[in-house]
């Protein structure tokens, strides 16, 4: 099954150049190159210091607006850079601009290496950096924080989809994972305040500084929401090996007193996301490998 849904708008460098010319003409002459074409957005590098983040389907348009509204609020309180927009692009109906129906953003460009391209053993170098980032991010969110039906809620809400993937024949070790899931889904739900969440904290959204593999930036806040911090703490199994996970968990718990139930739910969220990567990444070998890594780590803790 394909990972990426079909684009509803063909976002090309020519289209974005025209949007820049109409709305941000002082930037329109900079070099422009498509560097990523993801599930929700196309990212283009703009000159040496900027990037343009443009939704490729309607569902993603609301997520871009969430980033535009909330990242400038959160960014000053976080220990590493995040892509808070430096300029905002507006929808256009084609009367004066090229036709494009949704908001889009101009954000900082972060030089570095995707953690997805780094062996899990080397990711240990930023385990405590990522812990510090989440300790800073996981503070009570206001009631108007973005809602997300797929992140931040109780594991029970994901029960049907997880069991569906585990009985589809697309996920290895399905019997062992189903037994584990049946235990984890029964862990008591989060009863604390709704905390700010990144919502999609996997290695492809972590930028490492060249040379030392320390955390340089955290990107792609499209799934940002509020709720149970276990959703983000699942990165302990998604991103790290056992050594890195121990360092990450120790650093988070030391500063937050995170209880065993929250870590158990985090392991459950890693199983949720790992099965999704494993079942839906036929067109993306890197995410298929990430799914296999995540599920091996989840099972390896037994």
**Which structural domains are found in the chain, ordered by start?**
13-109 (3.30.200.20), 114-300 (3.90.1200.10)
Q: Share the mean pLDDT of the chain.
A: 94
| Confidence class for position 96, pLDDT limits 50, 70, 90 | low
Neighbours of 146 (CB within 10 A): 23
- Return the CA Rg of the chain: 19
**153 DSSP assignment:** S
DSSP annotation string for 55-66: ESSHHHHHHHHH
Strand-pair partners of 32: 46
Question: CB–CB of 67/221 below 8 Å?
Answer: yes
Backbone angles phi, psi at 105, to 5 degrees: -135, 150
147-181 pLDDT, tens digit per residue, is: 999 999 999 999 999 999 999 988 989 999 999 99
Q: In the chain, what percentage of residues exceed pLDDT 90?
A: 88
CA angle 48, 50, 51 (to 5 degrees): 120
Q: Sign (positive/negative) of CA torsion 261, 243, 181, 286?
A: positive
Q: Which uninterrupted H or E stretch holds 264? A: helix 260-279
Q: How far apart are CA 242 and CA 167, in angstroms?
A: 27
| Confidence class for position 2, pLDDT limits 50, 70, 90 | very low
Tell me, what's the pLDDT at 149? Answer: 94
Tell me, what's the pLDDT at 66? Answer: 96
- Asked if residue 51 has pLDDT above 90, the reply is yes
100-125 pLDDT, tens digit per residue, is: 999 999 999 999 999 999 999 999 99
DSSP annotation string for 164-204: HHHTTT-STTHHHHHHHHHHHTTSPPP-SPPEEE-S--SGG
> Structure pTM?
0.95
Q: How far apart are CA 296 and CA 23, in angstroms?
A: 48
- Asked if residue 271 has pLDDT above 80, the reply is yes
Q: Write out the E strands in 90-177.
A: 104-108, 113-114
Tell me, what's the pLDDT at 210? Answer: 86
Tell me, what's the pLDDT at 94? Answer: 66
Q: How far apart are CA 186 and CA 275, in angstroms?
A: 18
Tell me, what's the pLDDT at 282? Answer: 74
- Asked if residue 250 has pLDDT above 90, the reply is yes
Q: Please count the CA atoms within 13 angstroms of the CA of 183 that sit on its side-chain side.
A: 12
Summarize the confidence of residues 121-133 as an average pLDDT: 98
Question: CB–CB of 37/56 below 8 Å?
Answer: yes
Summarize the confidence of residues 242-246 as an average pLDDT: 98
């Amino acid at each position: 099954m394909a990972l990426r849904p079909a684009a509803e708008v063909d976002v090309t460098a020519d289209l974005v150049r025209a949007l820049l010319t109409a709305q941000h003409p002082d930037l329109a002459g900079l070099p422009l190159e498509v560097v990523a074409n993801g599930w929700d957005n196309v990212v283009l590098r703009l000159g040496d210091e900027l990037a343009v983040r443009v939704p490729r389907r309607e569902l993603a348009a609301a997520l871009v607006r969430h980033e535009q509204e909330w990242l400038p609020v959160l960014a000053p309180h976080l220990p590493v850079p995040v892509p808070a927009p430096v300029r905002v692009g507006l929808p256009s109906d084609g009367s004066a601009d090229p036709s494009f129906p949704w908001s889009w953003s101009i954000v900082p460009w972060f030089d570095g290496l995707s953690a997805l391209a780094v062996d899990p053993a080397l990711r240990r170098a930023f385990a405590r950096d990522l812990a510090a980032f989440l300790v800073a991010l996981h503070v009570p969110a206001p009631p108007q924080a973005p809602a997300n039906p797929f992140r931040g809620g109780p594991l029970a809400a994901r029960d049907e989809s997880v069991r569906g993937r585990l009985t589809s024949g697309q996920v290895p070790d399905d019997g062992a994972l189903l037994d584990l899931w049946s235990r984890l889904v029964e862990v008591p739900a989060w009863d604390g305040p709704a905390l700010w969440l990144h919502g999609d904290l996997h290695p492809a959204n972590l930028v490492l500084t060249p040379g030392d593999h320390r955390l340089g930036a955290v990107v792609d806040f499209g799934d940002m929401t509020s709720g149970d911090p276990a959703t983000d703490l699942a990165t302990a199994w998604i991103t790290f090996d056992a050594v890195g996970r121990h360092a990450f968990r120790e650093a988070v718990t030391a500063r937050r007193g995170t209880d065993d139930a929250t870590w158990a739910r985090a392991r459950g969220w890693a199983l949720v996301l790992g099965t999704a990567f494993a079942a839906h990444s036929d067109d993306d070998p890197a995410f298929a490998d990430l799914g296999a890594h995540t599920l091996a780590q989840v099972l390896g803790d037994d």
